[in-house]
Every structure is written in C-alpha cells, then in structure tokens.
Amino acid sequence: MSIRRNSLIRPPRLCIQVWFFLWITIGIFIIINNLKKSEKTLDNDYNAYYSCSRYNDNISKENNMSPARKFNFRPFEESSKRAGSSPRATITKYGNINLNNKFKDENWTMIKGCHVIFHYDPESRVIGLQVVANPAHNSYPIRELEAGKGLVVTARAFLKHSGIPFTKSSSYDIKLYDTRDSLPFFYVDLRQAGAD
C-alpha cells in the first residue's frame, strides 16, 4: 500500500470549504451588526433633531405671545466686582490682610519692597498701617500675591494681640490717613459693615 506524500500535507477540500463558509458568515454577521448600530445612531440623531425643532417651535410661539404675557426685564446694574472698584483690605480667616488690585494699582510704586507697622485704636476700632522703608522688629513685609490677586501682609499675631476677630473673612475700605517720611499711612475702619 503506497501513501502519497501530498495527501498528508494538503487539507481535504471539505475542510477548506467549511473554513471559507465560516469566514463569510462571520463577515456578514459583522456587517449586519454595524448596519444595525448605524441605524440606531441615525434614529437617535433624528429624535434629537426632532425634539430640538419642537423646542425651537415652542420658543418661537412664546416669543409671539400677547403683550400682556411679555416680561419686563431690567438689567442688574451692580458690578460683579464691587470689591475691586475701590481700594479694599480683607482680613482673612487665616490671619492675613489682603489688599486688592485697586489698592495695588494706586500704591505699588510707592510701597514696593516696604514693610508695614500695625497700629490699633481700640476705642474707634481702626487699624493703622504705617508703611516703612526699612524692616524693624515690629514690621511685616508687603508681599505680592499671584498675578492679578493684589498684595498680602501677615497679621495673625497683631490681630490676636489686638483682639480683632478673624474667624471669617471680612472686607473693608482702606484709606490714606497721612504721609510720614514720604511714605503713606493707611487706615481701615472696622466699624464698617464687612463684605465677603
């Protein structure tokens, strides 16, 4: 009995046909599945468009309502940046005194690199900020905050010593009191209603 060499290596013709049929079936299944998905996407797009157009129709109907049903809107005139409209000092809950951009814009060229000596009048409840050119044992440096955020002076020890509460942030107007040694002396009146 002789065995042909080629019959062992070559797969039977039926096996090739079965594999071919399976690959064709899988390909058709994938195509049909993708078509169903795209059909659902088209349906969703149509529904979204239809609901949007219905919404727009309702809006246009409301715009054409009778004058008795129209609204009399008035713009809100207050600025959203009220604290930025005038120089302000904020006593923060961390024990710092932050000075806003308006204050910085008006005074930074005079006080850059300077320090502050704090004063307090307990009867009037007014804080004084004396700007000094040279550091002293009781002075605190004026530092710049991140870009666009103003200036800051650490004041925790002063606030605690003076009995000024700082459990929450409060904002006050800061004004020029006088000038000493060509440097400004500012004051903050704590009797004002704090904002923030």
The residue whose two tokens read 């955020």 is 149
* pTM exceeds cut of 0.75: no
Instruction: Please report the pLDDT score of residue 131 as a whole number.
Output: 92
Residue 103 corresponds to which amino acid?
A: F
DSSP letter for 65, please. S
User: Is the pLDDT assigned to residue 83 strictly greater than 50?
Assistant: no
Intra-chain end-to-end CA distance of the chain, in Å: 104
Report domain extents, the chain. Answer: 11-69, 82-189
Instruction: Please report the pLDDT score of residue 46 as a whole number.
Output: 60
As a whole number of angstroms, the distance between CA 117 and CA 137 comes to 9
Instruction: Please report the pLDDT score of residue 19 as a whole number.
Output: 76
Encode pLDDT of 8-50 as tens digits: 556 666 677 777 788 888 888 888 877 777 666 666 666 665 5
Residue 73 corresponds to which amino acid?
A: F
Q: Which residue has the higher pLDDT, 143 or 22?
A: 143
User: Is the pLDDT assigned to residue 2 strictly greater than 80?
Assistant: no
Tokens of 97: 């005194």
Residue 150 corresponds to which amino acid?
A: G
As a whole number of angstroms, the distance between CA 24 and CA 110 comes to 84
Neighbours of 107 (CB within 10 A): 20
The residue whose two tokens read 């044992």 is 137
CA 19 to chain CA centroid, nearest Å: 61
Quick check: 154 and 174 in contact, CB under 8 A?
A: no
